[in-house]
Amino acid sequence: MIETKIWTVDEMDAAARAIKRGALVAFPTETVYGLGADAFNEEAVSKVYAAKGRPSDNPLIVHVADPEQVSEFAIVNEQAQKLMSAYWPGPLTMILPVKPGKLSLTVTGGLDTVAVRLPDNDATRQLIRASQTPLVGPSANTSGKPSPTLAKHVYHDLHGKIAGILDDGPTKIGVESTVLDLSANMPAVLRPGKITPAQIEAVLQTTVDSEIHHVADNETPKAPGMKYRHYAPDKNVYMVAPKDWTQAIIWMQAQLEPVGLMLTNDLIRQHQLAGMDFIWSLGDNNETAAAKLFAGLRYFDDKKDVQTILVAALPQLDVNGAYNNRLGKAAGGHWISELLNN
Ligand code: TXA
Ligand code: MG
């Protein structure tokens, strides 16, 4: 066991020294906290997989502080160039062909491509510059848990296993970046995020494949991470469509055990739920809902009395794609309507 430090952003130097000596440091981004290590130090990168309990064939995103840094280890094509100008720093990860020699197979999971991202967080960009190396950065959770949106989530999962956490408060977006594959003929969204397919198409002036491909265990998936169950809660999670809330609450009241509810403030008001136990507010709008989703799932994970959670699905708009995708995974695709007798 090592003692895990929590550093403020003013204590950046200590965090950078830890990275330079090959230790693990969790860093904030605009999406979720990442688990950082020197991307050019194979031993440090191996420790990332061990700390998370992550399968070794699931490759890591390499985080840079400046777009120019990418050409050290990947081939930047014209499409990537355009998207970097438009959306970096920001929640868009691009898969590019790797330049041989620089990155170990541990980073790329043996693929001939690499995922790159420039996060929109000043402290983390300073950390990357001070460390004088790009950083690998999977989400800083134990494999199978929701991604961390607060330093205390990281501490909960990884304390004793990592050198420290750079704490910059709650992350703004709350769901992981859009992953876009630019290494094949047609650009393809492998994981929906805040940057939508329409926003990518607007910049590239070409069609983007935005169907999320589901892969069986025996296939080689496009994004290896997609074959693993992301958040496998011990609780029963059900999605609730906007039209089903009245019935869902009647169902809830008929249960013997307490049921957790995660919903927006307008629904809390509409159904007069304010002040009740076992409610997690998703805030006032679609953006706050995305920012508070993972924290709410973690909140109920720790509530022994609660075995079932009902969570508001958002209207199927392009901007809600990432939220509904992550919620769908947590719920294993289940809707409360399956239990209602309409
Ligand atoms: O917002 C984010 O992207 C966060 C923050 C910390 O930057 N990071 C993150 O990393 O979510 P991670 O490792 O939890 O998810 C990265 C995803 C995985 O599904 C992985 O399989 C996929 O990207 N991926 C990484 N490299 C890839 C590659 N070369 N080809 C295809 N998919 C790749
Ligand atoms: Mg992750």
60 Cβ below 6 A of ligand 1: yes
Residues 70, 98: Cα–Cα separation, whole Å: 10
Cα 137 to middle of ligand 2, angstroms? 9
224 Cβ below 6 A of ligand 1: yes
Q: Which ligand is nearest to the CA of 143?
A: 2
176 Cβ below 6 A of ligand 1: yes
- Which residue's alpha carbon is nearest to atom 33 within ligand 1? 223
- Look up the CATH superfamily of 5-227: DHBP synthase (3.90.870.10)
Nearest to 329 by CA among 313, 306, 342: 313
Q: What are phi and psi of 58, to 5 degrees?
A: -105, 100
Q: Which ligand is nearest to the CA of 145?
A: 2
174 Cβ below 6 A of ligand 1: no
Q: Domain extents for the chain? A: 5-227, 236-338
ipTM value for the complex? 0.99
pTM above the 0.90 mark? Answer: yes
113 Cβ below 6 A of ligand 1: yes
Altogether, the residues listed in the chain come to a count of: 342
Q: Which ligand is nearest to the CA of 97?
A: 1
Cα 243 to middle of ligand 2, angstroms? 31
For ligand 1, mutation pick of 142, 179, 214 (most atoms within 8 Å of CB): 179
Q: Which ligand is nearest to the CA of 34?
A: 1
Asked if residue 190 lies in contact with residue 31, where contact means CB atoms within 8 angstroms, the answer is no
Given the CA of residue 193, which atom of ligand 1 is nearest to it? 1
Q: What are phi and psi of 326, to 5 degrees?
A: -70, -40
Residues 226-252 as b or e (16 or more Cβ within 10 Å = b): bbeebbebebebbbbeeebbebbbebb
pLDDT in tens, the chain (342 residues): 899 999 999 999 999 999 999 999 999 999 999 999 999 999 999 999 999 999 988 999 999 999 999 999 999 999 999 999 999 999 999 999 999 989 999 999 999 999 999 999 999 999 999 999 999 999 999 998 999 999 999 999 999 999 999 999 999 999 999 999 999 989 999 999 999 999 999 999 999 999 875 544 444 556 666 665 567 677 999 999 999 999 999 999 999 999 999 999 999 999 999 999 999 999 999 999 999 999 999 999 999 999 999 999 999 888 899 999 999 999 999 999 999 975
143 Cβ below 6 A of ligand 1: no
- Which residue's alpha carbon is nearest to atom 12 within ligand 1? 138
Element spanning 251, H or E = helix 245-253
User: What's 236-338's CATH class?
Assistant: alpha beta
Given the CA of residue 226, which atom of ligand 1 is nearest to it? 19
